[in-house]
Amino acid sequence: MKTVLVTGARGQLGTEVALNCPAGIALTTVDRAQLDIGDEAAVRRIVDELRPDAIINCAAYTAVDRAESERDAAFRINRDGSRHLAQAAQRIGARLLHVSTDFVFDGRKSSPYLPDDPTQPLGVYGASKLDGELAVRETAGESALIVRTGWVYSAHGSNFVKTMLRLMQEKPELRVVADQIGTPTSAASLASALWALLARSAPAGTYHYSDAGAASWYDLACAVRDFAAPRLPKTPATILPIRTQDYPTPAKRPAYSVLDKTSTWALIGSGRHWREPLVEVVNELTA
């Protein structure tokens, strides 16, 4: 593998994929302005021109709540765009690594989700991402890698960690949901895992990757506060736990979406506990 194309290059994951690119890889990155993956002709044109050995698809419609009222837009990118990339990769013999989400599950399980567990998304975003997975499998299933993740954050873009850092300096008190459980995942950790799967020529199929451990949004907010407090100009806000029903949103979210990474870790080694990379990102953001 010598040449790789990365879509969604200005997002938090695409940024980290580029930053963590291994030596010896000729990397081409494209953002939404340069390549709209919902445009089949545009995808075909750039893939045929570049003829990469692999494509890492970080492009996605990720506005979970807005997707409930923008269904067509979500499916155009997450389903149709994924199919366009799979078709283009298949045509030139490139590997496609497609990033998906824990939101393909309904959250009713009480133990980590395995890659082959039944899927049942609760909202438009999860449904559009699941349809994207199906499109990739149908089109390039014999060579494609699908990697599900969740609760991604970084020092780039918009995410929960950055929002908490801002709000805890603006407000005296924050109320954060404590009954949704997942795993906070550093985009840098995820990017390294994607590169490792490609480098090890992982068999085609569906994989799970997040950092280790589990937390609620409340746990994550408290950890951000504790790590940041010594570096903040003001005493951070008090953080209070609330229930999901106390914070209604347009999209319903899974109550439990911890992913089982056993098969992934068997290939690339186990990851760090979520608190370790979080310290690094918080330090970077508060330096």
Catalytic annotation present for 113: no
Tell me how far apart the alpha carbons of residues 197 and 193 are, in angstroms, rounded to a whole number.
6
Among 151, 132, 143, which Cα is nearest to 212's?
A: 151
Which residue in 61, 125, 207, 209 is the catalytic one? Answer: 125
Task: Answer left, alpha or beta for residue 107, where phi above 0 means left and psi between -120 and 50 means alpha.
Answer: left
Give the burial string for 44-57 (b: 16+ CB within 10 Å, else e): bebbeebebbbbbb
pLDDT at 239: 96
Tell me how far apart the alpha carbons of residues 21 and 15 are, in angstroms, rounded to a whole number.
10
pLDDT at 287: 87
| Contact (Cβ atoms closer than 8 angstroms) between residue 42 and residue 36 | yes
Q: Could you say which residues of the chain have pLDDT below 50?
A: none
pTM, rounded to two decimals? 0.95
| 113 DSSP β-pair partners | 259
Tell me how far apart the alpha carbons of residues 207 and 149 are, in angstroms, rounded to a whole number.
9
pLDDT at 275: 97
pLDDT digits (tens, 9 = 90+) for 126-151: 999 999 999 999 999 889 999 999 99
Among 62, 57, 51, 70, which Cα is nearest to 3's?
A: 51
CB atoms within 10 A of CB 103: 28
pLDDT digits (tens, 9 = 90+) for 217-226: 999 999 999 9
